[in-house]
Amino acid sequence: MCVAADLAQFTANFMIGVPASFVVGGPLASLVLGMDGVAGLHGWQWLFLAEGLPAFALSFIVLKMLPDGPRDASWLTVAEMNEITIRLSTKDESGRGDLWGTLRDPRVLSLGVANLFLQSSAYGVELWLPQFVQAMGFSNFATGFIVALLFFCGACAMIIGGRLSSLRDERIWHVALPLLFAASGVAVASVAAAGRPTAIECYKMGS
């Protein structure tokens, strides 16, 4: 049954949908890009349609089906609903309810800055990684599978990290160490890529 210590594991299991979408989308993108010229559209235009429209439609389905609380989760038994509701109602509510005071809290501000850099680097990798791989000489087909493999490894790391965090009931180092490891990887990649094509140049080469 869900307790506070299990939240890291459950959150990781939920969030692996992000890298999992790249695992499926990478090879799929390779196939769709091969439709270049079909119906007068470029491959990248077909890619936008094939991967964008289903995601747009499914967003409304998820909005309808995702429960707001345990009482709305039809897959739970009545006993499970009651127990989860009780556990959630008895969780620590010692935090202050002042919104503006919370937003001015140095801890919140520092986490916001950290998340800004995290999301900036993450989107940079997610958006440009296929172009970087392709610039190394791989075909569209091979690029899709290489990118999928990398995100598969990321999904596995999320599951392992979430479970370890729940087992040890520790949060700070299970977040800080992976971020430091990722930052180190980006730094090494930046040095190793000195003199090689930039992201924009990779895009022009791919097009």
pTM above 0.85, yes or no: no
pLDDT above 70: residue 170:
yes
3-state secondary structure of 91: coil
Answer whether 117's CB lies under 8 Å from 31's CB.
Answer: no
Cβ proximity of 161 and 179 under 8 Å: no
SS3 content of the chain, % helix, strand, coil (to 5): 80, 0, 20
Q: Is the pLDDT of residue 128 over 60?
A: yes
* 142 contact partners, CB below 8 Å, separation of at least 6: 30
Domain parsing of the chain, residue ranges: 4-90+108-206
Q: What is the pLDDT of residues 190-206, one digit of tens each?
A: 777 665 655 555 555 55
pLDDT tier, 41 (very low <50, low <70, confident <90, very high otherwise): confident
pLDDT, one tens digit per residue, over 88-102 is 776 555 555 677 888
- Model pLDDT, residue 207: 52
Per-residue pLDDT at 94: 55
Give the model's pLDDT for residue 122: 84
Q: Contact at 8 Å (CB) between 165 and 174? A: yes
| Tens of pLDDT, residues 4-19 | 567 777 888 888 888 8
Query: What is the pLDDT, as a whole number, of residue 204?
Result: 57
How far apart (Å, rounded) are the C-alpha atoms in residues 160 and 19? Answer: 14
* Token duo for residue 128: 């440009």
CA–CA dist 141, 28 (Å, integer): 9
| Residue whose pair of structure tokens reads 């992976």 in the numeric block | 178
Mean pLDDT of all residues belonging to the chain: 80
Predicted local confidence at residue 154, as pLDDT: 86
Tokens of 102: 């919370």
